[in-house]
Amino acid sequence: MAIDNKVVLVTGGTGSFGKKLVEVILDRFRPRKLIVFSRDELKQHEMAQRFDDVTYDNIRYFIGDVRDRERLYRAFDGVDIVIHAAALKQVPTAEYNPLEAVKTNVLGAANVIDAAIDRNVKQVIALSTDKAANPINLYGATKLCADKLFVAANSYSGDHGTRFSTVRYGNVVGSRGSVVPFFLKFKKTGGVIPITDPRMTRFWITLPQGVQFVLDCLDHMDGGEIFVPKIPSMNIMDLAKAVAPECEHKVVGIRPGEKLHEVMVPEDDARRTLEFDRYFAILPNLNKRDTPAHRSGRPCPDGFRYGSDNNTDWLSLDGLRTMLKEVEIEPA
């Protein structure tokens, strides 16, 4: 693996993704050093109770914010690989605090890029979201901007400089802020579940699957790709039936900033997208290279679109129930 005997830093390392990533890395790999970078001292303290620096002598905890360029320069010194997971991710929060979302998701991404290039980091892989494809809310717009910054960063890092790529995937089953914990609250109380639109569909992935996909992409990234995993879709009504079959439903309408269906490979991007057995790779407009990692990919046909509504892989009720048994459900 690309991370064995390397110094790895995770921004947003105390979030849902960061904690699972740290758990997987410490359990399965042997990095020379693993740095957890985040701004929440309480979460770092709680995380250190589980992953202490005596049992795990290669773990380090850095307090810092991606908005703080100087702190990133200090933290990235000697780092080989950066996994950038820090972001403001709640759609309503970003709508109400737009400049705060821009400072973290856009300017923070620019700081990560500058620090990585100037500190000679070898690889950076950033987490994105399906909401960055054809965005209609501010959160998605900031992540699309960040995606483009990371792709373009390969152009000015030089042929032998830092390589940047992005991973884009859908809703994480059971994560805080997702609809599953929200529905479970109604299951406990026996209330009526509000449904935005019975036609609504979403992509679904588990946290372990997301972590594994990021680690896989580290191994075959060349720089500039936006990697999209092939994951199942599910209709919102089927989701409600699987989570709380005993509850009634009430249609309340789509909320501001919400789509009927999500897209991870828009039609306009499909012209430069390669399909592989388990994922898609959207290639950059500039600095496209003919590399062994890309030669096994198949060009997507004209007019192709990878959306949650036209997906060929659908999650059944039993499939979702099985998935829920295998994941940790965070509080809503």
Give the integer Cα–Cα distance in Å for 278 and 295.
15
Give the integer Cα–Cα distance in Å for 226 and 233.
20
Residue with tokens 């933290």: 75
User: What pairing do the DSSP bridges indicate for beta strands 201-205 and 171-172?
Assistant: parallel
Structure tokens at 51: 């992953």
Give the integer Cα–Cα distance in Å for 294 and 143.
25
**Is 148 noted as a catalytic residue in this protein?**
no
Helix (H), strand (E), coil (C) string for 80-113? CEEEECCCCCCHHHHHHCHHHHHHHHHHHHHHHH
List the one residue out of 327, 298, 24 whose CA is nearest residue 204: 327
Structure tokens at 92: 């309503």
Give the integer Cα–Cα distance in Å for 261 and 224.
26
Give the integer Cα–Cα distance in Å for 103 and 10.
19
Task: Please count the other Cβ atoms lying within 10 Å of the Cβ belonging to residue 148.
Answer: 17
φ, ψ of residue 249 in degrees (nearest 5): -125, 150
Catalytic residue among 131, 187, 288, 325: 131
Q: How many CA atoms within 13 Å lie on the side-chain side of 12? A: 22
Residue pair 193/250 in contact (Cβ under 8 Å)? The answer is yes
The alpha carbon of residue 274 and the mean position of all alpha carbons in its chain are separated, in whole angstroms, by 20
DSSP 8-state assignment for residue 290 = -
Active site (catalytic) residues: 131
